[in-house]
Every structure is written in C-alpha cells, then in structure tokens.
Amino acid sequence: MNSVFTRKNTPCLTEKLSVQKLLLLAGVATIALPGAETLAQDTQKNQETETAREAITLEPISVTAKADVLTGGVQINQEVLDRINPKDIKDVFRQEPGVTVSSPTPIGQKVYVNGIEDTKLAVDIDGARQVTKTFHHIGTAIIDPELLKAVKVETGVAPADAGPEALGGSITYETKDGRDFLDAGETFGGYGKLSFNTNTRGFSENLVFAVQHEGFDGLAFLSNDSGDNYTDGDGDEVIGTKPSLQSGMIKLGYTSARGYRVKVNANITRDRGIRPARPNFGGSSITTDSPGLVDYERRSVTLSFGDETPTALWDPKISISYTDTSLFANITNTPPPVRAAIISDITTINGKASNTFTVDLGKITTGVDFYVDRGKGGPEGNSNYKETVYDIGAFAQARLSLSEKARVSFGGRFDYNHLEGNEGSTFDTVGVSGNLNGEYDVTDWFMGYAGVGSAWGGIPMTEIGVQNYWIAFGPANAWNYDNLEPSRSYNAKIGGVIEAGNFTFDGNLYYTKIDDSHDVSSNNRGDQFDVVSKGINASARYTFENGFIRASYTHSDVEVDGNVPTSTIAYQGIVIGDLFSAEAGYEWFDLGIRAGITAEAALQNNDPKKNGADKLDGYVVTGLYAEWFPEFLPDASLRLDVRNLLDADYTDRANVGYDSSRYVPYSDPGRSFLITAKYHF
C-alpha cells in the first residue's frame, strides 16, 4: 500500500476588474509569453538540461488515491462533482467527513473544518486569497460550484506551502480551464445547462464556451440562479431565501512548445437580494431588524506561470492575484436607530513563487509568498474606517519516500506580519510554523499515519463592516488595539487506512488548539479566545461491479475558552456533535443510466443545554438521483434529483441561531425536485 505526499497545486493570482488593472496584467502577460519562449529556446540549446527533461517524468513518487492532500484530508475531483450535481458549497461537502457548511442560502454559508470556522484556515480560489472579513453575518464560501474542477482540504495539520494563517488547515478551490472541455485536435466546445427547482419554482442557467488553437486556450462561463423563497418541511415559506447568485469567468492560457504555461483568469460572483437583516439567521425578534437589500460582490483577476514539462531542478510556479470584495447590507438596528446600512470593501493582493526540486527520495518545494489586505467600511455615512495588514513569508516543504513502506512530509515557514490600525498604531510581529507527517505500510492492506504541526497566525485584519458602528457609541467604546497578540495553533492527528480488495477505510483522531484566536468583530482588538476542537473522522467505501456504497462519520467537540460555543459567536467554531452520511450508486452502462440514494443524519446533542439553551434535535434526511445519457443523443443528459425525499422539517446542524432568544435559525428546504438538462457541443 502506498499513499503519497505530493506537491499541492500552487495557487494562482488575482486583480481587480478595472480597465487599468486589466491592461497592466495584459502587459505582464505579453512580456511573460515571449520571455517563456526565449527561455525555452535557451533550454533547448543546453544538452544537459534537455537530457534531464527526457529523464524526469511527472509520475507520482508512488500510487495514491489522494494525490494532492495529506492522508486524512479531503479531495473532491471532477468525477465526484459531476455525480453529486451540487447547487451550492453545502452540496459540495455534504458527504465529506469533518467538513460542514452552514445556512441553506449561499449568502450565509460558512465552511467549518473539524468544527473550526474557515476564517481560521488558509483559503484560496485558484490561488486568490479569500479575505472574508466584510461582515460576520455574511458567508465565507460564496462560490458557484459549477465553476469548480477540484476541491482540496487539509484538515488540521497543513503543509508549509499551503500559505500563511493556516491555523486549522487549508482549503483550495480550483476552477475549470478551457482545456478541460476539449480533446486533442478540437478547437471549440462547451455546454449549456438548464435546471428547474420545484421548491423555489426557479431556474438555473449555465453556459460555457471553450476554445483552443496552437497552444492558446480560452474559457467563458456564465451562470445565473433565480426563483422564489423555498418552503421548509413543514410547508412554511422561508423569507429571504430567493436564489440570486450570478457568476462569470474568463480564462485565457498559452502553453509553449517547451511546456511553459501562462494563464490569466478573471471572474466575478454576485449575490443581490432581499435578505434577513443578518443573512445567516432565518429571522429576528428585534422589531427594527426588518429584511433589507444585501448586495455582495467579489471580483478577481489572476495571473500565473508554470512549467508543464519540469526537470529535476526546474519546476516553477509563480502567481499573483488581486481580489476586491464589497458588501452593501441595508439593515436596521438599535442602537443607534439611524444606522441603515453596512458597507465593506476589502482588497487583497497576494503572490507566490516556488520551485519544486526532485531528489532521489522525492520532492522538495521552496518558495516565498506575500499578501496585502486593505479594508475600508463601516455604517452608511460614516464608512471611512481603514485597516491594512501585510505578510511576507518563506517556506520549504519536503515530501519523501524513505522506503517502499515509509513516507514522510515535513516543512516549515517564517512569516513577518505588519498591521496598520485606523488611528495610526502599528504592530510588527514574526513567527515560525512547522509540520511533520508520516505514513507506514504495516501490512499489504493496512497503513498507519500520524501528523503534528504548529501554525503561527499573526494578526489578521479586522471585520471592516462594523468598525465605525462601535465608535458611534462614544469614546468609552471606541475601537482600540490594547493587548493585541498574534495567534498560534497546535494540531495533531493519528489514523489508519485499510485497503482490502474492493473495500477501503480511512479513520483518524484529531486535535486542534488555537491560542489567542482573534474575534475581529469585537470593538476591542485584544478580545481573543482559546479554541479547542477534538474528535473523530472516518469514511468507508465498498465497490462492486458497476456500483459503490460509501459512508462517513464525524464526531467533533469544540470549546471556546473552555465552554461550549454559542452559535452566534463569530470567527471561532460551532457545536457539531455526531454526524453521519451515506451514499449508494450504480450505473447501467447498456441503458446509459446512473442512479443513487443519499442519506444524512445528526444525533441529538445536549451541549447547548450547558449554556441554558435547548438541546439540538437529531434528524435524518434522504435523497435520490438518476441521470440518463441517451444513446440517440450522445452529447445530452437528463437528470432528476430528489432532495429531502421524506420532506423532513429540520435545521441543519451547522445552521446558527438555535440557542439565541433574539434570532431563529434557518429551517432547511423541504422536498425539492431538481430537473436538469445538459447538452455538450
């Protein structure tokens, strides 16, 4: 049995969709393309390098089912995404152990890894760093899953090249390229996809165009969701849940004859609609908390360079990104009652340059990265609060096979962090992070693994949307930076993998502790917590003929300062308890049909009673799916998904507000039939 520590895909970069910045990136790309060709010509003249290119291949060091994540992590590929047909990020992770997503609407969805909010993880989309500090009632995973090609989650212990601030791990979202839709020799293709949801009585439209010619490739993507508020399992309409997510993406790439590849990616995601005053809650008992307009928009541009035919000494990845995230939330609140809207605008520039060296035992990746986060916002009419944070890091990560049975991954990084406060104060801090993971094949069918790590989190940027609101209370409650300290995490996991014939199993125990975890929604930047999460993640799969059965289990205990966390706490963790999921699927190739059944379950949880709240009820939710690929129309498919088959009236375990006297949690959608037609051209 062999499982490999292989190089994580290096993130790309992002720029704002202004004419000036697009022209700037276009200029950089114009310079980079001929530069890459020149370098390739020089390399061709060097016989030794040419010989090395022929000798070194891109084959993994050994065989693995999770090529790009450490054992015990989560990897979702295009095949899985096609099978589950996700409508939002919640669907993407629905069957994955250790990963839960809050809220049934994209605008409020936050990802929790082992119960820890993803604001404590290093998160990127095609390398573009995600800074989710607009407003703590807004989601942190507002992504159209139709864009995705792969998702990779490092749970707890993260490698050094995952990026800075990986306190509880990392999440990497990778989107599709034009080349993903075209075979060799094809110049044009794509698909159109139309879905209808009987619960929302709304349509979702997706359109993709892909081209390639003589090394150039391109992709244009458009997506739109519409409909009405859904009804829950009790037949009640849930206000503020109308689908309104819109996405667009353009990707341009060039691959030279020598394998050098330059890529530019520009994308935009927007969700605009009438939502509850605090969009992650289903409602409020506060009379002035009436629904209002919430307008969220994220724009980014990414430029990246790499070599698809690397040598032992030359396997570069270079990227630079610019992302602008803006929020307008028209809400009312007391005090003061005149407050009508929260405005946030956050820009981040991040870059990374690395090279991977192939040695006798495996691969060693070294490099540097940086980010600059700038935020401005506050209540409408007084939205001039500013804060800036930048970080410069250097890292090295080795992934080695010590023998046929033993593999090890270890690395470290150094970060310098600088914060500029609104009132002129500055903070300069430095820290180191380290990790060590090992695997050993005890038998032909059992592999044991373990990992430990400590990640330095520095001082993150504050939540921009609430700043001047706190200052409006008066000098006694003005924002301050007293007692502000950098955060640090300690992570460990131990587990085993069984591969016996058609049966596979992966299970582990994990522990995460974050010291001085920042509450960036507080008016006192020095408000920090100690957060602990410990538990079990396990998954199993059995394949037979043309089918499979899979199941997963998660048990997670989260504490904040030694207490059970309330669901309304921001930027920390939530109560998870015991969660189960299962899926069985089968394909009839002669009929062109694949079908399956899914199930999710949560056990009753009494932890909220320790805070004087009601217990969390258990629930069971089932679903069906069937997809037909007609022989007489080979480029088309027709699919039916039945979500919440038994029309259960339930609140997902990760939804917030269940323990609050002021807010109520979202009830999830009742029975929904999703009819999807797709045509490739």
To 10 degrees, the CA torsion angle through 138, 144, 145, 149? Answer: -120
| pLDDT at residue 290, as a whole number | 77
Task: Compute and round to an integer the Cα radius of gyration of the chain.
Answer: 24
pLDDT band of residue 510 (cuts 50, 70, 90) is very high
Chain centroid to Cα 66, Å, comes to 17
Q: How confident is the model at residue 496 (pLDDT cuts 50, 70, 90)?
A: very high
Q: Omega of the bond prior to 335 within 30 degrees of 0, cis?
A: yes
As a whole number of angstroms, the distance between CA 174 and CA 128 comes to 10
Backbone torsions φ then ψ of 141, nearest 5 degrees: -140, 55
**CA 466 to each of CA 55, 339, 343, 382, 458: distance values in angstroms, whole numbers, following the listed order:** 57, 11, 9, 11, 21
3-class secondary structure for 263-275? EEEEEEEEEEEEE
In tens, the pLDDT along 608-648 reads 999 989 999 999 999 999 999 999 999 999 999 999 999 99
pLDDT value for 334: 43
- Give the E-state strand segments of 380-486 in sequence order: 385-401, 406-420, 426-441, 446-458
For residue 145, the SS3 value is helix
**Residues whose CB falls within 8 Å of the CB of residue 27, separated by 6 or more in sequence, listed in order:** none
**pLDDT band, residue 52 (cuts 50/70/90):** very low
For the ranges 40-54, 232-246, 484-498, 582-596, the lowest mean pLDDT is seen at: 40-54
Spatial contact of 364 and 356, defined as CB atoms under 8 Å apart:
yes
Instruction: Name the pLDDT band for 8 (thresholds 50, 70, 90).
Output: very low
* 161, two tokens: 């090249």
Neighbour-count burial of 274, counting CB atoms closer than 10 A to its CB (0-12 exposed, 13-18 middle, 19+ buried): middle
Q: What is the spatial distance between Cα 159 and Cα 411, in angstroms, rounded to a whole number? A: 7
| Cα–Cα distance for residue pair 424/420, rounded to 1 Å | 6
In tens, the pLDDT along 419-458 reads 998 878 899 999 999 999 999 999 999 999 999 999 999 9
540 CB burial (10 A radius; 0-12, 13-18, 19+): middle
pLDDT tier, 661 (very low <50, low <70, confident <90, very high otherwise): confident
Q: Model confidence over 11-43: pLDDT tens digits? A: 332 333 333 333 333 333 332 333 333 333 333
* Whether the bond into 336 is cis, omega within 30 of 0: yes
pLDDT digits (tens, 9 = 90+) for 290-323: 788 889 999 999 999 999 999 999 999 999 999 9
pLDDT score for 542: 98
Mean pLDDT on 497-513:
97
Alpha-carbon distance 598 to 625, whole Å?
Answer: 8
All residues at 6 or more sequence positions from 404 whose CB lies less than 8 Å from its CB, including other chains:
2, 441
Percent of the chain, pLDDT > 70?
86
The strand pairing partners of 212, in sequence order, are: 217
Question: Cα separation of 158 and 399, whole Å?
Answer: 13
* Domain 19-680: which CATH number of 3.40.50.970, 2.40.170.20, 1.20.1440.230, 2.40.110.10: 2.40.170.20
| Total length of the chain | 681
- What rounded mean pLDDT belongs to the chain? 87
Asked whether residue 287 carries a pLDDT value surpassing 80, the answer given is no
The alpha carbon of 353 is separated from its chain's Cα centroid by a whole number of angstroms, namely 21
* Global confidence as pTM: 0.88
Say whether pLDDT at 667 is over 80.
yes
Backbone angles phi, psi at 648, to 5 degrees: -70, 140
pLDDT in tens, 80-112: 999 999 999 999 999 999 999 999 999 999 999
Is 521 or 583 the better-scoring residue by pLDDT?
A: 583
Mean pLDDT of 487-510: 97
Rounded to 5°, angle at Cα 426 from 421 and 431: 115
Single out the residue of 677, 608, 671 nearest to residue 199, CA to CA.
671
Give the sign of the dihedral formed by CA 653, CA 654, CA 655, CA 656.
positive
Higher pLDDT, 423 or 548: 548
Mean pLDDT to the nearest integer, 177-189:
93
Residue 30 pLDDT: 32
Cβ–Cβ under 8 Å, residues 76 and 95: no
Whether residue 332 is predicted with pLDDT greater than 80 in this model: the reply is: no
Q: Match 């993130």 to its residue by tokens.
A: 11
Q: Summarize pLDDT for 561-597 with one digit per residue, the tens.
A: 999 999 988 899 999 999 999 999 999 999 999 999 9
| Contacts with 474 (C-beta within 8 Å, 6 or more apart), sequence order | none
Q: How far apart are CA 512 and CA 452, in angstroms?
A: 10
Pick from 412, 406, 405: nearest CA to 436: 412
Q: Judge whether residue 181 has pLDDT over 90.
A: yes
370 near 393, Cβ under 8 Å?
A: yes
Q: Could you tell me which of 129, 604, 186, 40 has the C-alpha nearest to residue 319?
A: 129
Which residues pair with residue 535 across a beta bridge?
A: 510, 556
- pLDDT of 63 higher than 80: no
Q: What is the pLDDT of residue 524?
A: 84
Strand order across the 99-101 sheet = 99-101, 111-113, 116-117
Q: Are 659 and 567 within 8 A, CB to CB? A: yes
* Percent of the chain surpassing pLDDT 90: 73
